[in-house]
Amino acid sequence: MKRRFSLILALLALALLIIPAALLLASAAHAKDIPLQWDASPSANVTGYIIYYGPEAPPSGVTRPHATWAFPYSATVTDGLTATIPGLPPGEWFFAATAFNEVGQSEYGNIVQATVESFVPPSMPHEPITIPLPAGNVTININFPQGNL
């Protein structure tokens, strides 16, 4: 009985390790990098930009990060006017940029939205396709539309 209980505990512990790892790999397989580009701030002495992002847009009237609401994620850019936000899972994502310098930070610029689509594998034909081939060595080239895999 004691051995059986130990075996059950070992299997349960193994399952608790494997299942989260499988879910993490599955979500990573559907993640997408989002490239962003913005115009330079017209303000003098800008030292960088903060790109804020999250799965929800700010409530009406919220124009900068504050105590009652803020985007859950951010990335600081101090060199250039582009950034790539890596590994976003499927869903709706909202982005806003602020400029900053030693004095403070601007309000959010335009809030933009991007959709990361879930991967849907291409459907297979319902019936096999038969292609008559001549005798001898034959080369078959199969071309897949871009973006399906």
pLDDT tier, 15 (very low <50, low <70, confident <90, very high otherwise): very low
Nearest alpha carbon to residue 31 among 92, 94, 89: 89
Cβ neighbours of residue 8 closer than 8 Å, sequence gap 6 or more: none
pLDDT digits 0-9 by tens, 31-77 = 899 999 999 999 889 999 999 999 999 888 888 887 678 899 999 99
Query: How far is Cα 131 from Cα 120, in angstroms, rounded to an integer?
Result: 27
| Lookup: tokens for 97 | 């940029």
Q: What is the largest CA-CA distance in the chain?
A: 78
What residues pair up with 87 in beta bridges, in sequence order? none
Query: pLDDT exceeding 70 applies to what percent of the chain?
Result: 59
For the entire predicted model, the pTM comes to 0.61
